[in-house]
A and B are shown apart, each in its own frame.
Chain A
Amino acid sequence: MSTGFAPARVRSPRAATAPRERATETFTAPAGSAGGLTRLRRRVRWPLGIYTTPVAILVLWQVTSELGWLPEKIAPAPTAIIQAGIDLWKIGELGTDLTTSLRRVGIGLAIGLTIGITTGIIAGLLRSGEYLFNGVVQIVHTIPLLAVLPLMIVWFGIDELTKVLLISFGAGVPMYLNLFAAIRGVDQRLIEMARAAGVGRARLISRVLLPGALPGFLVGLRFSLAYSVLGLVAAETVNANAGIGYLINRAQTYLRTDQVFLGLVIYAVIGLLADQFVRILERVLLQWRPSYEAQ
């Protein structure tokens, strides 16, 4: 030992001779990285994609019905619901009800989206447009859709006009709100870039503001479609003599649970189709967007 004031720190001989074994990780190309194979595997594991759970529930439902655990008056088997649909189709009622409802939604959506998109764009682009529309829409937005119904009946009667207007109200408000927010939310730095590049107003709108607002527009569209179906349901529960809502009301009166379910299923299918429609639009229109794709 030296005679230094502080003894030199001696390292443990074990640490010097036997280095700690380090765990390692090795990465290689994923098995079957040929793209198609991976996709196939995923398809096998989740054969129905997002519909896996709904289908599983349906199967469970059918089985419990067959076993007699579910009374028919509470929830008839899925096959019984389908049978009710076939029966109603054969006597021509389902077809009439369906076309009536779809026509109402179609007209209501057309009016609501036209107004929502027009006002949304004007308010998004112009400060004066914002002052003109925003206050009214924000106030109206806080009123629940169903609560407007009595007023609409007083104003527009109990015929088609009220039904269509309720649907367009449901579709127009979310479209306006989302479109307005989307246009105002376009990256300020991109607008500045465009200004610096000498871009005129028309091109600023067509190449920067409107395409930039597209994701928000599609969110708005999704809400609009959902709310228009909601408006349809609300509208058809009063004084309808045709339409899916009428079908449900009548079925309820006669305690035909299978037909009630049939009506609900149709509403659900309409909603699902609308959602799929927007999804396809997103895939086509938003292919430029870098986004997270879950494994």
Chain B
Amino acid sequence: MSTATTTSVDVRDVRRQFGDRVVLDDLSLTIGESEFVVLLGPSGCGKSTLLRLLGGLDRPDAGTVTVPKERAIVFQNDRLLPWQRVLRNVTIGLYEAGADERALAVLDEVGLKDHARAWPKTLSGGEAQRVSLARALVTEPDLVLLDEPFAALDAITRLRMHDLVRELRRKHNAAMLLVTHDVDEAIALADRILVMSDGRIGSAYDVRLDQDERAISAAREDLRAALLGDLGLAAVH
């Protein structure tokens, strides 16, 4: 299963259907090692289904899914265990000795070291989502799957989370797949943007922009227009 290559994820001709509804239709996808891929698409296009397949939470009806054994998922809602303090929430998947120290180190990276003893109910939405990021990264995964993790956050918190994700990516050398319906989020973070439609990858864009260009540039606007066009929103903007 875990063959050492430069591809982290290899999805081949995957098909997934619920009853008569075909959600993923002969979909293929590869993600390179430490590549940041953003999967963009409207609600119900099957992007979350694909993410669940990659996370091993679901099985394909046809085709093969090859993913690293060490992987982590950040869900749309923080999914913290309310009855465990923040630290224990982060160490949930850790079995080796020194789990607490590692968890504290990652909590420090997301700026929540002081909250290690806090109950989840005392955290704000952004803080809770940062804890779930820490929980994902503490196992040093080769692949991090992010399922619209910032969708429920306010705009300012979301921008801060983008900075945090970029920073964490520099420290942790993992491939990341982010599922979102937010075009700006995709442009802000992606090495490659894949637009999903009708259960397939409709179009793909390599994003070769530096951080400033991602914030404001003509190339950015062109990309944005192209993505909106792919999503069928060209007329709106």
Contact = CB atoms under 8 A, between A and B. Distances in A.
A203 B92 CA distance: 8
Nearest to A197: B93
B199 interface: no
Nearest to B77: A189
Interface string A180-221: 000000000110111111111001000110011010000000
Contact of B92 (A197, A289, A290): A197
Given A194-B92, A288-B121, A211 B73 contact: no
A197 B72 contact: yes
B205 interface: no
Nearest to A287: B119
Given A196-B55, A207-B81, A211-B84, A290 B75 contact: no
B41 interface: no
Interface string B81-105: 1111100100011010000000000
Contacts of A194: 92-93
Interface in B104-151: 119-121, 135, 139
The prevalent SS among residues of A at the interface is: helix
A190 B93 contact: no
Q: How large is the interface on B (under 10, 10 to 19, 20 to 34, 35 or more residues)?
A: 20 to 34
A287 B118 CA distance: 11
A187 to B, nearest CB: 8
A212 B82 CA distance: 9
B56 interface: yes
Nearest to A192: B57
A198 B56 CA distance: 10
Interface in A199-246: 199-200, 203, 207-208, 211-212, 214
B79 interface: yes
B75 A288 contact: no
A199 B83 contact: no
A194 B89 CA distance: 10
B119 A288 contact: yes
A287 B82 CA distance: 10
Contact of B73 (A196, A208, A288): A196
A289 B81 CA distance: 11
A138 B95 CA distance: 40
A100 B82 CA distance: 42
Chain A CB within 10 Å, residue with most, of B55, B57, B79, B120: B79
B9 to A, nearest CB: 16
A198 B93 contact: yes
Chain B CB within 10 Å, residue with most, of A196, A208, A211, A212: A196
Given A194-B92, A197-B92, A199-B93, A289 B55 contact: no
B168 to A, nearest CB: 17
Interface in A89-142: none
B84 A190 contact: no
B84 A207 contact: yes
B125 to A, nearest CB: 14
Interface string A60-84: 0000000000000000000000000
Contacts of B77: 189
B141 to A, nearest CB: 9
Contacts of A190: 79, 81
Given A189-B79, A289-B121, A196 B92 contact: no
Contacts of A203: 92
18 contacts: A190-B81, A192-B57, A193-B73, A193-B75, A194-B92, A194-B93, A195-B57, A196-B56, A196-B57, A197-B72, A197-B73, A199-B93, A211-B81, A212-B83, A288-B84, A288-B85, A288-B119, A289-B121
Interface of A: 189-190, 192-200, 203, 207-208, 211-212, 214, 287-290
Interface of B: 55-57, 72-73, 75, 77, 79, 81-85, 88, 92-93, 95, 119-121, 135, 139
Given A197-B135, A290-B82, A290-B121, 11 more contacts: A192-B57, A192-B79, A194-B92, A196-B56, A197-B72, A197-B139, A198-B139, A207-B84, A214-B83, A288-B83, A288-B120
9 closest Cβ pairs, A-B complex: A197-B93, A193-B79, A290-B121, A211-B83, A196-B73, A288-B83, A198-B93, A288-B119, A288-B82
